[in-house]
Amino acid sequence: MFGTGKPRTKLGRWLDKRGITQSWLMKKTGLNKNTVSDLTSDKDRSPTLKTMQKVIKALKEIDPKVNSNDFWDV
C-alpha cells in the first residue's frame, strides 16, 4: 500500500517510486481516469493489448528499458 492506504499494482508502485502521477499517465496515453486508476490499484485488472501498448509507450519516456512484463503477466 502507498501513503493513501490504497492497494497498488506493480504499475502503481512503479509510478509512485518515480513520483509520476496518474494524471501524467492519463495525458500521455489518452486513457480515461477510471482505466488508469484500475491499472494502478486493481491487481485483477488486465489491460487490453492496445491499452498496454499506450502505457508502455508513455513509460518508455521515463525508462527506455521498461516493458509490459514488468507490470503484467503476458
Give residue-wise pLDDT tens across range 8-61.
999 999 999 999 999 999 999 999 999 999 999 999 999 999 999 999 999 999
Contact by Cβ (8 Å): 16, 38 = no
Grid coordinates given for 19: 513520483
pTM: 0.89
pLDDT value for 9: 96
Query: Does residue 1 surpass a pLDDT of 60?
Result: no
- Residue 43's contacts (CB-CB under 8 Å, 6 or more residues apart) are 7, 9
pLDDT of residue 74: 76
